[in-house]
Each structure stands twice: as structure tokens, then as C-alpha cells.
């Protein structure tokens, strides 16, 4: 692996990382991935480190894979959820942060409905902060695992056409993926209902299409997204059936992509809405590879931030 000076304390946004940083994180993840296939899946690298998972929104993949990643490197991990924290009694995020800091954790992994919550936390604690998804803003570790999966399957990212389909405006995954894939030299095309397309796509590095066919045509990667109902102030779609008819990825629309195109989804999937079940489970789908790579990428992030290299 090439030497690279990784000088980051937090993982807040992919905007803070260069293409060389991203490559280095993925290379580190690739070298740590093998630990997960051993019969004894544990190395002493982060022994004595304390990691808190602070999840104010539901999560299956991100929370569990950060916890597995930390445990595979022998860190001590502790989980707090919204319902089991004193946030339900009215404690502010800043007060929560100060109290967590008093227990001297080395890293806090936070998921929060408010965009910017990880930044706020980073100003009040000395621990490393890892953004596990903040509102509609970013989900950097998801984009890193997505890029690792594309690199595994395609051997490169530069020059590929990545189509991201769905609720682009409210998706923190789409936001981080657009930043990451375009930094790595891919052409990112997005499509979704007009009510779910954000302003300023070209500044972010993506090309927007109202016609899904233009986005999917000749794509190397087709990434489908869930509608973020929990972030909508009002229904922006008539029905799920109508969404599936116009923006669902199915056997007909996928014919427009390259014959070797792969299908991705960050999960959780609404089968039959944004993605047909046969494609989700078919041979082009790399959805479960994304989940496996999620453990490796999160091991790499904790390793790089917490001085595993010392
Ligand atoms: N991809 C993702 O963030 O999934 P979870 O919400 O289950 O963590």
C-alpha cells in the first residue's frame, strides 16, 4: 500500500477529503477486510480505545457495522439511542456531548436528524467525531463503502457513469456519493421526481435529468434510493405505485444501462417501489457486497482516526 499522510481528526463530510485521502481509506479498508473472514475475527489494534455509538435515528447497517468494526479491532463500544438517552427528558445535544466527553471516549459516532449535528458535537468534545448520517446533509462512510464496492467490481472509478435514481434532494447518501464519485473522476448522473431534485447539482458535480432514461442510459452503475419519507414536510408524490412506474428500476429500464452494469442500494430497500425484487436479488446486484464493505470501511476509518498505525 502506498504511504499517505492522513491528517484528519473527524469524518464529517467528504468535502474535507482529497481523492488521495479517499483512495487511502479504501486501500486501508481492503487490507483490513481479510480480518472479517478469519475464524477468530479480532486483532488488538484498538485495544483500550473507547467508542460511543450515539444514534438519534434508526439504523441497522451503519450502527451495527461501526460496532462490529470497532469490536473486530478490540475497542470497547457503547451504544446510546434516542429512546434510551436523556435527550427524551429534554437534554440538549451540547449538554449530552459535554457529559459524554467527561467520560473520555476516543471517538463518538453520531447519527442525527439535524444536518450539522456532528459539526456541533465536534466543537464541544475532544474525541474524534464520525458522521453516521446527519439529516439531508451527508453520510460519508456510506459513500466510501459504495466507492470501495465499485472499485472491487469494476477495477476503477474514474471514467465510469454512475446513475443515482430517486429522492436526491433529501438523501444524504446521494449527497455524499455525488461528492465522492465526482472527486474520484466518475461522471455522476442523477434523476428523480421534479419535487425531489435539488438545486445546484452542477456545483456539486452531478448532471440532473428529469427523464430517468437519460440518467440510466449506458450507466456502469445504477444506484437506487429510498424515498426519505421521514424528511418530507408534505407528501411529494401521489402514490408509491406511480413512483415505481416512473422512477422504479426494473427489468425494462435496466436494459438501457451497460450490459455489465451493477445495481446498488444503500438499504433499507422498499421492494417493488424503487427497485424490483428480482433485480435486488439478481446477479447484477451488489447490495450485500456494499454491506460487507461497510464493515471494512468503518474499520479503516476508526483505525486511521484512532492511531491504529502507532
Ligand atoms: N445505509 C444505511 O445508512 O442503512 P441504515 O439506516 O440501516 O444504517
* Residue 241 pLDDT level (bands cut at 50, 70, 90): confident
Strand-pair partners of 223: 164, 264
Q: 268 C-alpha to center of ligand 1: Å?
A: 7
Q: Which three cell numbers stand for residue 190?
A: 442523477
Report whether 30 contacts 148 (CB < 8 A): yes
pLDDT at 298: 98
Same domain for 157 and 273, yes or no, is yes
Q: 59 C-alpha to center of ligand 1: Å?
A: 5
Kindly report the average pLDDT of the chain as a whole number: 94
pLDDT tens digits along 175-209:
999 999 999 999 999 999 998 899 999 999 999 99
* 302 has pLDDT over 60: yes
Same domain for 84 and 159, yes or no, is no
For the Cβ of 59 lying below 6 angstroms from any atom of ligand 1, the answer is: yes
Q: Whose CA is nearest to atom 4 of ligand 1?
A: 61
> Can you give the three-state secondary structure of the chain, one letter per residue?
CCCCCCCCCCECCHHHCCHHHHHHHHHHHHHHHHHHHCCCCCCCCCCCCEEEEEECCCCCHHHHHHHHHHHHCCCEEEEEEHHHCHHHHCCCHHHHHHHHHHCCCCEEEEEECCCCHHHHHHCCCCCEEEEEEECCCECHHHHHHHHHHHHHHHCCCCCCEEEEECCCCCCHHHHHHHHHHHHCCCEEEEECCHHHCCCCHHHHCEEEECCHHHHHCCCCEEEECCCCHHHCCCCCCCCHHHHHHHHCECCCHHHHCCCCCEEECCCCCCECCCECHHHHCCCCECHHHHHHHHHHHHHHHHHHHCCCCC
Q: 57 C-alpha to center of ligand 1: Å?
A: 10
Q: Is residue 1 in some structural domain?
A: no
pLDDT at 228: 67
Q: Is residue 85 in some structural domain?
A: yes
Residue with cell 475475527: 41
Q: 60 C-alpha to center of ligand 1: Å?
A: 6
Q: Please name the residues in contact with 212: beta carbons below 8 A apart, sequence gap of 6 or more.
A: 165, 191, 246, 247, 253
pLDDT tens digits along 121-146:
999 999 999 999 999 999 999 999 99
For the Cβ of 105 lying below 6 angstroms from any atom of ligand 1, the answer is: no
Same domain for 173 and 103, yes or no, is no
* 47 has pLDDT over 80: yes
Alpha-carbon distances of 286 from 217, 244, 290, rounded to whole Å: 19, 21, 6
pLDDT at 231: 57
Please give the tally of structural domains in the chain: 2
pLDDT at 84: 80
Same domain for 102 and 163, yes or no, is no
Share of the chain above pLDDT 70, in %: 95
Q: Is residue 168 in some structural domain?
A: yes
Same domain for 52 and 90, yes or no, is yes
Mean pLDDT of 31-46: 97
- Most informative mutation of 64, 267, 292, 297 for ligand 1 (most atoms within 8 A of CB): 267
Same domain for 64 and 193, yes or no, is no
For the Cβ of 64 lying below 6 angstroms from any atom of ligand 1, the answer is: no
Q: 3 C-alpha to center of ligand 1: Å?
A: 31
Same domain for 38 and 172, yes or no, is no
Residue with cell 440510466: 216
* 310 has pLDDT over 60: no
For the Cβ of 36 lying below 6 angstroms from any atom of ligand 1, the answer is: no
Same domain for 255 and 296, yes or no, is no
pLDDT tens digits along 89-99:
889 999 999 99
* 230 has pLDDT over 80: no
Same domain for 127 and 150, yes or no, is no
* Domain encompassing residue 272: 140-288
d(CA 166, CA 209): 11
* 5 has pLDDT over 80: yes
Q: Which three cell numbers stand for residue 231?
A: 424528511
pLDDT at 233: 59
d(CA 289, CA 103): 36
Least Cα distance to 28 among 210, 130, 122, 151 occurs for: 151
Kind of pairing between the strands at 161-165 and 107-112: unpaired
Same domain for 106 and 197, yes or no, is no
CATH of the domain at 220: 3.40.50.1370
Amino acid at each position: 500500500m502506498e504511504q499517505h499522510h492522513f491528517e484528519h481528526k473527524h469524518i464529517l463530510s467528504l468535502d474535507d477529503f482529497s481523492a488521495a485521502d479517499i483512495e487511502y481509506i479504501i486501500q486501508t479498508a481492503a487490507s483490513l477486510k481479510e480480518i472479517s473472514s478469519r475464524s477468530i475475527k479480532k486483532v488488538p489494534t484498538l485495544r483500550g480505545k473507547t467508542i460511543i455509538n450515539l444514534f438519534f435515528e434508526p439504523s441497522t447497517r451503519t450502527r451495527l457495522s461501526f460496532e462490529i468494526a470497532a469490536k473486530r479491532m478490540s475497542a470497547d463500544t457503547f451504544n446510546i439511542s434516542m429512546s434510551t438517552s436523556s435527550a427524551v427528558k429534554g437534554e440538549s445535544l451540547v449538554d449530552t456531548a459535554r457529559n459524554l466527553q467527561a467520560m473520555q471516549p476516543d471517538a463518538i459516532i453520531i447519527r442525527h436528524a439535524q444536518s450539522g449535528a456532528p459539526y456541533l458535537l465536534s466543537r464541544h468534545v475532544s474525541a474524534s467525531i464520525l458522521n453516521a448520517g446527519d439529516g439531508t446533509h451527508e453520510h460519508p462512510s456510506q459513500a466510501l463503502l459504495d466507492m470501495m464496492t465499485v472499485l472491487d467490481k469494476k477495477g476503477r472509478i474514474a471514467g465510469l457513469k454512475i446513475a443515482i435514481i430517486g429522492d436526491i434532494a433529501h438523501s444524504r447518501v446521494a449527497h455524499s456519493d455525488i461528492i465522492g464519485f465526482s472527486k474520484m473522476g466518475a461522471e455522476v448522473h442523477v434523476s428523480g421526481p421534479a419535487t425531489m431534485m435539488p438545486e445546484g447539482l452542477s456545483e456539486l458535480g452531478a448532471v440532473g435529468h428529469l427523464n430517468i432514461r437519460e440518467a440510466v442510459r449506458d450507466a456502469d452503475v445504477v444506484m437506487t434510493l429510498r424515498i426519505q419519507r421521514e424528511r418530507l414536510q408534505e407528501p411529494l408524490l401521489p402514490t408509491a405505485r406511480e413512483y415505481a412506474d416512473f422512477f422504479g428500476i426494473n427489468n425494462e429500464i435496466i436494459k438501457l444501462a451497460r450490459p455489465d452494469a451493477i445495481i446498488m442500494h444503500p438499504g433499507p430497500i422498499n421492494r417493488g417501489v424503487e427497485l424490483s425484487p428480482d433485480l435486488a436479488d439478481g446477479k447484477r446486484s451488489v447490495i450485500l457486497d456494499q454491506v460487507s464493505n461497510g464493515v471494512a470501511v468503518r474499520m479503516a476509518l476508526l483505525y486511521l482516526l484512532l492511531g491504529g498505525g502507532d
